[in-house]
Amino acid sequence: WDETHFGKMGSYYINRTFFFDVHPPLGKMLIGLAGYLSGYDGTFPFQKPGDRYEQHNYVGMRGVRIYRLVSSWLALLCFSVQMLELSKSLPAALLAAFVLIFDTGCITLSQYILLDPILMFFLMGAVLSMVKCNSCADRPFSASWWFWLSLTGVNLAGAMGVKFVGLFVVLLVGLNTIYDLWDLLGNLSVSLVVFGKHLLARVLCLILLPLVLYMAMFAVHFTVLNKSGPGDGFFSSAFQSQLIGNNLHNVSIPE
């Protein structure tokens, strides 16, 4: 059923038709982009599960450009987190990667038009970036430290931009940041000025950067979806007047 739902959302982006959905837009925009780049024209109705795609070019939306890419990276990310930063054990890292590679759920999820592989990619990316940033703790404010801290913020925005379940990885990174800052505050060799720089850097990369990226996703969302669709009624008359094809389009509406 979910493939029917998210496939329809991807079609809306291709047709630039406005809709309302409970999930943030990033994952669905990537689905629509995959379909657009692979030649899908957005005409399949996605009415009910099991409908045959017939001549419609659904392969790009289902697997070629997005899902195969992110799914293939999941095992590598899992291996990197385990091997490079957490366990430091090659057998443990290989075991974790192989368990993920041969997991029936992951294999199934990567074959359909779903948000979950994209979400897992950003979740694991955030964890990897976080632990890599922690490994640079002995050289704060270096290029690599800034890179991994900023990449953590980017992945947090990506996880939140796909599904609100991404809040859990935000919580994980937040707790790690609080622990890190508390440890720095108790370090008598670290001055308050340096501590303030650490705090400011984390506010910039882990709060402001994700917020800006998250809002940018919605800016793209509302820019692309400029035609009247099934989601009009959830929004104000002033908003509906900006949608092409709506009964209120270009109508002057008093405040």
Q: What is the pLDDT of residues 162-186, one digit of tens each?
A: 999 999 999 999 999 999 999 999 9
The pLDDT score that the predictor gives to residue 67 is 45
Q: pTM of the predicted model, to two decimals? A: 0.86
User: How far apart, in whole angstroms, are the C-alpha atoms of residue 130 and residue 165?
Assistant: 18
Q: Lowest-pLDDT range, 137-146, 215-224, 245-254?
A: 245-254
Q: What is the pLDDT of residue 174?
A: 97
Tens digits of residue pLDDT in 111-126:
777 888 888 889 988 9
The answer to whether residue 64 scores a pLDDT higher than 50 is no
| Residue owning tokens 């400029």 | 226
Tell which residue, 238, 6, 246, has the closest CA to residue 114: 6
